[in-house]
Amino acid sequence: MEAKFITLEGIEGSGKTSSIKSITDLLDSKRITYVVTREPGGSSIGRELRSILLDPKTEISSEVELLLMLADRKDHVEKVILPNLETGNWVISDRFMDSSIAYQGGGRELDKKMIDSFSKNLNLPNPDLTLLFDVPVEISLSRVKARGELDRFEQEKLDFHNRIREAYLGLAEQNVNRIQIIDSSQQIELMLKSVEQIIETLINGL
């Protein structure tokens, strides 16, 4: 069975991290081996980049932010994603390339064509499936604020987060075969049920 590459995407507080356990429980029950990883910070260099990127004291331009995200991603692909897929482990990544298009393209308003061309030139693998956790920004930000201290992205204004949400929904329209939207404004049990159904369908199709 060929190992699958699954990515989770969405705005802050959209519930993507909470759904990881449902996915891994299902994979365990089918005896499918996997790794769970995330961006930024999936490799050891990435963990250093993550602390710079999330620190509210960091002052960098949007272009530098994009380049650091891409450096993190390329190292993550080389050290974690590809080696695992090659040995037959599924890879579940909390965020991947769509985050750069949504956050740096949508949120920071960098040219999406430039981001696309970086992505193509870096020769990144394409996820087999992306779950996009979608929720109105007002709901997601109230969840994030309840969690405590805000990082550099979470501190941004409502408009920034709304642009990210719109960019994600645009990506979903352009990639209907890859991206499945999960309604994260519904009750958590229902949300997790829809995640499980999608993963079951992927497994059953193998």
Which residues in this chain contact ligand TYD in the complex, by CB under 6 A? 12, 17, 38-40, 54, 69, 94-95, 99-100, 103-104, 153
- Each residue of 10-20: b (16+ CB within 10 Å) or e? bbbbbbbeebe
Alpha carbons 112 and 203: distance in angstroms, whole number:
33
Distance of closest approach, residue 31 Cβ to ligand TYD, in angstroms: 28
188 near 182, Cβ under 8 Å? no
* Residue with smaller CB distance to ligand TYD, 2 or 149: 149
**Residue 199 CB, nearest approach to ligand TYD (Å):** 19
Nearer to ligand TYD, 41 or 199 (CB): 41
CB closer to ligand TYD out of 43 and 100: 100
- Across the beta sheet with 5-10, the strand order is 34-38, 90-94, 5-10, 129-134, 179-183
Our CB check for ligand TYD shows the closer of 32 and 65 to be 65
Query: CB of residue 9 vs ligand TYD: minimum separation in angstroms?
Result: 9
Q: Residue 167: count other Cβ atoms within 10 Å of its Cβ.
A: 22
Q: How far is the CB of 7 from ligand TYD (least distance, A)?
A: 10
Q: Which two tokens stand for residue 139?
A: 């709901």
